[in-house]
Amino acid sequence: MEKMKKLYEGKAKIIYATRDKDTVIQYFKDDATAFNGKKKDTIEGKGIYNAAISSKLFLLLEEKGIPTHFIKLLSPREMLVKKIQILPIEVVARNVAAGSLAKRLGVDEGLVLKKPVLEYYYKDDALGDPMVNEFHIDAMGWATKKQLESLKGSALKINNILQKFFLKKKIELVDFKLEFGLYKGKVILGDEISPDTCRFWDLNTREKMDKDRFRRDLGGIVDAYQEVMKRVVGAKC
Ligand code: UDP
């Protein structure tokens, strides 16, 4: 599948058009940013690990009946995906308190939540992606009530599937971010699911195996991403 015009370049990925109007190529870069772009660096090979991990997880979700934008991996950094009209909402699912939730509620990182929690953030870099609720989404018309119900149901199902999957890989799925979009009138899962967008802790040691190693200057970033890939895909690049 030929890469045509660059349609969009984000912090960690580039979207290219293809000859087919319904599909685009999602290219995974090695660039990493945190704190709304204030911290920047390159993590060698990250794009390859994230593309491999995301592909495996999208396939797993498809098998379990969750519609996603994934079609196939074209090369180690390039994923052929359905062209979706992305909803301007980031959905965060949490099983364990960490990051902004731990800070906001004044609880220790690592507190296991009694039930999964979903949060919504309005995708706007200039505003720093503010947290919003279902009323804001409805009032601003970012998604219809029906689309929101579909997205909510999918996010909870995805959490359930991924939590079980990662448990088998001896990884605790702490929290993660999802993005959904419209494809032929239906809400489907887009973006990526990787150590850039999830918090993964080793089940036994609770050692961080995700982007927090970059955000918090913990070192060992490449090793952590490689280890997640090894456990998820069963191979090392
Ligand atoms: N997350 C993300 N992109 C964002 C914000 C959050 O992928 O722009 C992910 C993050 O990696 C974590 C989860 O969403 O797995 C929850 O993040 P949190 O709200 O705790 O914010 P953070 O501490 O990452 O700023």
Task: Say yes or no: 112 and 143 in one domain.
Answer: yes
Pair (98, 199) in one structural domain: yes
Single out the residue of 215, 194, 157 nearest to residue 35, CA to CA: 215
Mutational test site, ligand 1, from 13, 100, 159, 221, max ligand atoms within 8 Å of CB: 100
Give the three-state DSSP class for 39. Answer: strand
| Residue among 39, 89, 197, 201 whose CB has most ligand 1 atoms within 8 A, to mutate | 197
Q: Is the pLDDT of residue 18 over 70?
A: yes
Q: Domain holding 215: CATH number? A: 3.30.470.20
Same-domain status, 100 and 192: yes
Atom 2 in ligand 1: which residue has the minimum CA distance? 197
What is the pLDDT at residue 2?
A: 87
208 Cβ below 6 A of ligand 1: no
- Taking only the tens place, the pLDDT of each residue in 53-108 is 999 999 999 999 999 999 999 999 999 999 999 999 999 999 999 999 999 999 99
Pick the last residue of a domain from 50, 82, 114: 82
Flag whether 225 is in a domain: no
- 27 lies in some domain: yes
Q: Which of 66, 82, 98 is the last residue before a domain boundary?
A: 82
High-pLDDT (> 90) share of the chain, %: 96
**Does residue 226 lie in a domain region?**
no
237 has a pLDDT exceeding 80: no
Query: How large is the average pLDDT for residues 132-156?
Result: 98
Same domain? 132 vs 103 = yes
Q: Is the CB of 13 under 6 A from ligand 1?
A: no
The per-residue pLDDT for range 181-207, each reduced to its tens digit, is 999 999 999 999 999 999 999 999 999
Give the residue from 49, 82, 115 where a domain finishes: 82
| 236 domain residue, yes or no | no
Name the band, by pLDDT with cuts 50, 70 and 90, for residue 235: low
For the segment 103-128, what is each residue's pLDDT rounded down to a tens digit?
999 999 999 999 999 999 999 999 99
Does 197 lie in the same domain as 89? yes
Q: Is 229 within the bounds of a domain?
A: no
Cα distances (angstroms) measured from residue 137 to each of 82, 94, 133, 182: 24, 20, 6, 16
User: Region 19-45: what's the mean pLDDT?
Assistant: 96
- Say which DSSP state 135 is in: H
CATH of the domain at 52: 3.30.200.20
Q: How many domains does the chain have?
A: 2
Q: How far is the CA of 177 from the centre of ligand 1 (A)?
A: 6
Answer yes or no: is 189 within a domain.
Answer: yes
| Residues 178 and 108 placed together within one structural domain of the fold | yes
Task: Domain of residue 76: give its range.
Answer: 6-82
Largest CA distance in the chain: 51
Same domain, residue pair 96 and 199: yes
Query: Residue 90 has what pLDDT?
Result: 98
> What's the mean pLDDT when you consider all of the chain?
97
The answer on 92 and 78 residing in a single domain is: no
The predicted structure's pLDDT at residue 1: 78
Encoded tokens for 207? 């050692």
Instruction: Tell whether 122 and 69 lie within a shared domain.
Output: no
Whether 211 is in the pocket of ligand 1, judged by its Cβ within 6 Å, is: yes
> Running DSSP on this structure, what letter comes out for residue 111?
P
Residue 206 sits in the same domain as residue 125: yes
Model pTM greater than 0.95?
A: yes
Residue 68 falls within a domain, yes or no?
A: yes
Strand partners, 8: 15
Quick check: 207 and 201 in contact, CB under 8 A? yes
On whether both 30 and 101 belong to a single domain, the answer is no
The pLDDT value recorded for residue 36 is 87
Q: Does a structural domain hold residue 30?
A: yes
